Structure 1
């Protein structure tokens, strides 16, 4: 059986990055923190914390990071009426955040939300590490301890006025190379903002892939051209399988918000 004081101490070390900062947060001595971590590691038979600057969870410790977060979420839900509500951390790709995702949060207004953004092919990594409780992801492999719901596919159109350069969101962004591999050697601009990315295409800085519902409006208005290529990216909603009422309600809201924008 897990000692919850040890588990909370482990979570504090990972969250703050050091034994000393965790001691200050928990109002105990660094020696007490060290003793609790060692006791927890003995009980599971694995090294859980990589003693570095900052301290990080080992692969064995990542499962406990998720578990500690799940315990904390259920505790906050139980005490929500007496405190200031439940905090839910979510990772979502920039295009979903820019288009359909925020109405889902507005439909479930009780929790406090902490959003993270990453490429849709990498968002599940934050679930695995325990940083996020839920994710919009292109990864159909179910993360251990999570449920998965298929949301549909986001269609992207290749668009632009200028095909002599390509615009990428960041160095993880590979959509443009997938939709038009013949132009993989084209000079690249990196624009890590969903709205600025689209504005750069409108201004003729280069070509890029744009979510269909935004692209159709811009093409009709003559802001840029449809370059005749498209790509459908399946998206999934993965979330902790812990019987959380908030996550269940949010899941229903996410599916409803995604439906008008994603292809079945």
Structure 2
């Protein structure tokens, strides 16, 4: 295995995080030429190209492995620095990169991060993606841990069940009076629907499960969790909301549940690097506590 200096490893991570050699240079307080020379030296030592010179810069297959190693070395170095008492909370600058789906971030995950920050001064770099895709960020080495719907552990990681996020199909009363005055569920596939983004298959899968056919209605794309819920409340369309978001509105009558007998349950898992790290171990404990208190337990 090639031997890399800490300076070179941190340069590779900076290029992949920032997306360009110039931005990496600004982060590291060196010239872009120095960044280029360091990456070139790493590639010569490895015998393979590590970085695709695209905009933004991306890791090659070989670069993914080296970047994951670089982040692990950096994490272990931060753990040691803390253990030796070289860090006060007010000086904490190291970021733990995590991936999480938008609904978890909007309901139970953000308070968990706040607890971790309070307990051991953790700083976070949060990547948001659909729960079916967060595992890809873990596989690429971009993040150290992820909330994901994928049970099978990524190589070099561990996987544990957090719990079940239950979704309810809901719509505003004014929307139903306009699109389905008889409150007939068979109208569901032709009514306007709200999706989070083009990767969101939750609503489409619900229609297939309940009606056995593909939806044909118009599709709104609302790519933030809070605005997704607001768009349903405002009558733009129907959609699936986590119980934590829908409950109060259902009780108040500002939302109507379309199919009470057909909730959608999504099992969520916590995958993290299989690496002994006080920071990752502490974050894992906090995330599990929050999940146990908030999610349905399978």
**Normalization by structure 1: what TM-score?**
0.90
Q: What SS does structure 2 have at the residue aligned with 1:107?
A: helix
What's the offset of the Cα at 1:54?
3.3
Gaps of 5+ in 2: 177-187
Q: 1:38–1:212: structure 2 CA closer, same or farther, 3 Å change rule?
A: same
Matches within 5 A, 1:135-214: 135-160=146-171, 161=173, 162=176, 163=188, 164-181=191-208, 182=213, 184-214=215-245
Contact 2:151 2:160 in 1 (8 A): no
Q: 1:2–1:195: structure 2 CA closer, same or farther, 3 Å change rule?
A: same
What's the offset of the Cα at 1:208?
0.3
Q: What SS does structure 1 have at the residue aligned with 2:116?
A: coil
2:27 and 2:243 map into 1 onto residues whose CA distance is 47
What's the offset of the Cα at 1:176?
0.4
1:214 and 1:126 map into 2 onto residues whose CA distance is 26
2:23 and 2:253 map into 1 onto residues whose CA distance is 55
Q: What SS does structure 1 have at the residue aligned with 2:17?
A: helix
After the TM superposition, which of the residue ranges 124-133 and 170-179 deviates more from structure 2?
A: 124-133
2:227 and 2:40 map into 1 onto residues whose CA distance is 48
Residue 58, structure 1, aligned to residue 60, structure 2: yes
Matches within 5 A, 1:43-192: 43-80=45-82, 81-83=85-87, 84-85=91-92, 86-109=94-117, 110-160=121-171, 161=173, 162=176, 163=188, 164-181=191-208, 182=213, 184-192=215-223
Q: What SS does structure 2 have at the residue aligned with 1:108?
A: helix
1:25 and 1:97 map into 2 onto residues whose CA distance is 28
What's the offset of the Cα at 1:152?
1.5
What's the offset of the Cα at 1:31?
5.3
Gaps of 5+ in 1: none
Larger helix share, 1 or 2 = 2
What's the offset of the Cα at 1:23?
4.8
Q: What CA deviation, in whole Å up to 9, does each residue of 1:195-246 have, x standing for no partner?
A: 2211222222211001123323322211121111321111111112221111
What's the offset of the Cα at 1:34?
4.0
Q: What CA deviation, in whole Å up to 9, does each residue of 1:160-213 have, x standing for no partner?
A: 143521011111111001111235211111112212211222222211001123
Q: What SS does structure 1 have at the residue aligned with 2:223?
A: coil
**Normalization by structure 2: what TM-score?**
0.80
Residue 255, structure 1, aligned to residue 282, structure 2: no
1:96 and 1:215 map into 2 onto residues whose CA distance is 14
2:136 and 2:35 map into 1 onto residues whose CA distance is 28
Q: What SS does structure 2 have at the residue aligned with 1:198?
A: helix
1:70 and 1:25 map into 2 onto residues whose CA distance is 19
Residue 240, structure 1, aligned to residue 273, structure 2: yes
2:243 and 2:108 map into 1 onto residues whose CA distance is 12
After the TM superposition, which of the residue ranges 250-259 and 5-14 deviates more from structure 2?
A: 5-14
